[in-house]
Amino acid sequence: MNNWILLQADGGAGIMGQVFLFGSIILIMYFFMIRPQQKKQKETKLFIEAIKKGDTVVTIGGIHGKVSSVEGDTVILEIDRGLKITVEKSAISADYTKKATGSK
């Protein structure tokens, strides 16, 4: 009878340990995977909203150009004198633009 009570107590401690372990794993995943991704998405959104005439940008496809005008969700890029193309704002890469202009 005494052994049965001891076994029950150990089973409860094991469950609490597993809950703690599972909670720790979720917390680690949040800080190393989810939070940085959300931060990067926020920075990209702010970058795209801040695009203005005269900015030098790089598209996701690797095209370098200067913003000629911004019209809603589209941007007209001048890639050479007199040669302009229209691209979506979402096609402009924040990462490559920062590298090309030398800013952080």
CA distances (Å), origin 94, targets 6, 36, 52 = 60, 16, 14
Cα separation, 62 vs 68, in Å, equals: 18
pLDDT digit string (tens) for 25-35? 999 999 899 99
pLDDT at 104: 57
Q: What pTM was computed for the model?
A: 0.65
pLDDT at 27: 92
> What is the three-class DSSP state of 92?
strand
pLDDT at 94: 83
Cβ count within 10 A of residue 43: 13
Of the CA atoms within 13 Å of residue 93, those in its CB half-sphere come to 15
Residues lower than pLDDT 50 in the chain: 1-2, 4, 6, 9
